[in-house]
Structure 1
Amino acid sequence: MESNIFHLQYAIDTFYFLVCGALVMWMAAGFAMLEAGLVRAKNTTEILTKNVALFAIACTMYLICGYAIMYGGNLFLSGMGEVDVAGVLGDFSGREDGFEGGSIYSGASDFFFQVVFVATAMSIVSGAVAERMKLWAFLLFAVVMTGLIYPMEGAWTWGGASVFGMYTLSDLGFSDFAGSGIVHMAGAAAALAGVLLLGARKGKYGPNGEIRAIPGANLPLATLGTFILWMGWFGFNGGSVLKLGDIASAHSVAMVFLNTNAAAAGGAIAALITGRILFGKADLTMLLNGALAGLVVITAEPSTPSALTATLFGGLGGILVVLSIVTMDKLRIDDPVGAISVHGVCGLLGLLLVPATNGDVSLSGQLIGALTIFVWVFGASLVTWGVIKAIIGLRVSEEDEYEGVDLSECGMEAYPEFVSSK
């Protein structure tokens, strides 16, 4: 009887990992649609190319070396072979927690779930550097980011390794349930380093400090992308429970889904109201970013807050993201999609809110963890971007930027019927 229970738990938890991983993979489509909607028509093909290519690069680099750096052990280069059923049952048989205890699932499902998180971190970079970066410079950075930079900070956090042999973040009281800092703030830190070296788009800022809006070409597409991300986030946070096959875990998954949705709604409402107060209009782009901000905030700890608290946390994110986007423009940091504000600033907020509902986590531990992640990712990314800039350059020519990078980088336009013939 006990053996049958473990077989069932193994099947349920493995299947749950795979389904949640597929949901997170679907977020790649969300990022692609969101970014394609928020850039100008002349840059659409290139941004879509980046999103598909970065996902493929992330999957390959994490397979080759990223997973081994982050968690140690052998990777699946020679195939998984047959599962050792006796070994799996022996690891769990006789434990007092039994069926109510730890996760039990296929290692292959764990890798699949982890690899789509890597791609998410890299997708954040894509939108921030849009419309003026060389495609191949971006893809070279993707190789380093997904193969080394992200896995290193992942090893110090989820992997439990000590930071340069000095201390472990978990011992300091750091916790990041599903990746507000480990995934989202890390992606934003890498993006910020690239944006600072890249500079703003031509015409974004005037000579006297004026800020010029550059509207996206397809807001329906951006809205669709936001809903896809909202849906995929249930796998992002829900899968991070790591288990489904008992009553306690199933209830935890349900609460995580509930709180994730509540935070997104709170963020959207708060951003909509904040935009109305500041701009006098209902700003759709702020509404979309507000929903994403709420999702980023709750990702650090979606299991312990009440639904009302999660809504309030998301609301704080929705207010903060609007203020942050406005501030970034005043600092002349050009981020076409608001990725640094959504994922970076709100990722930090999510980490700092964890101790409010989780007594096992300290504020000092969260601060140290956030600082460690940011310093490593920003510093390593700055060096990587700098090397790429010295070798092949980061930015397209002024003429190519004016004409649009679709033609110069990809040789085709996303909306050719909109272009008048000469």
Structure 2
Amino acid sequence: MSSPSTPPRGALGVIFLIVFLDLMGAGILVPVIPYIVEPYRADALTVGVLAMSFSAAQFVASPFLGLLSDRFGRRPILLLSVLGSAGGYFLFGYGRSLAVLFLARITDGLTGGNISTAQAYIADISAPKDRAKNFGLIGAAFGLGFILGPALGGVLSKISLAAPAYAAGVFSLVTFAVGAVLLKESLPAEHRTSAKTRWHDVNPFSQIRAAFARVGFRELMLATFAMNFGMAGLQTNFAVFTHVRFGLDASHNAILFAFLGLMAALTQGLLLRKLAPSLGEGRLAVGGSLLLGLGFVVLALSNAIWMLYACLVLTALGFGLAGPSLSSLVSHKATPREQGVLLGTMQSVASFTRVVGPVWAGLSFDHLGQGAPYWTGAVCAGLSMMWAIHSMRESL
């Protein structure tokens, strides 16, 4: 079990600001990516594979970045990841070919350890009873970033499709400057690992296999995989789905993503902080998975715009309650010297779902029907709920 060190003054606020600025940069790209890809390939699968390239790189890098943060501290890894994002965004804006677009997403993915390292930072400075609600701050920052990011991306897309990518790069540079000035280190030297690094320690498959071999983590990792597999399909296929079924363009999708961001911010910034102390992480993970599954069903059946909003309410509530709760449960079971690597492994599991999830969503959309990715998501949410229930029984 981990015990927090004395929190640096204003540390949570700085982490919130860094994640918010970083996610706002990512959110700017969301409504325009399908239209950037369209001149090269117009099928849904290519959009999914582009998203997969980022996540594949993140899958490979996340445990290693987590290990580095356990050894050298959280601050330098956070700053490195933000600089990598800036380079990837500028390269994406440059574009010129599908190969360059893929290279840009891979560059960002290899250094994209922001979330898991931010979670490890929060675990360092939070008492165990406060972790779920403090992890929710990351989700709130994510949500707020996706309120402003897609809206700004929709506006900038009127200038050019490359403008949102360049703006995202600028936001990453601003994030780096904020972190360099304000962010203090959270992991004291006595809590850092000094073990010699082996191939096993940086191999994501070895790290995932090791986590699955530990009874306390197996069910939590399985629940994380199932929940994020469904969400990965929604996140990458949603703009394609709304364009084909309802004829919505980038600006309309920007409004929908902004609404999703608002709901995520309210869920994780307010609701989760109120519910976590009384209900506990286990019940929130179970209930959140149930709501997520209902959201997927509504989307698969949608035949009117209002049903899109109903879906986004349910999915934001479900994912917003379950995601931070699962992260908190993993953090509770980790020692101070393995917070980074285990949360990095959890992020790697989530990244792997964003490798296979978008590909499945694209293939099933193209060949099985428009609702197929979301029926799959409903099944995955049910599995996540089942594994969360099993995890609760194990802890009794």
- Give the TM-score of the pair, scaled to structure 2: 0.32
Say which structure is richer in helix.
2
Which has the higher Rg, Structure 1 or Structure 2?
1
Greater RCO structure (CA 8 Å; 6+ sep): 2
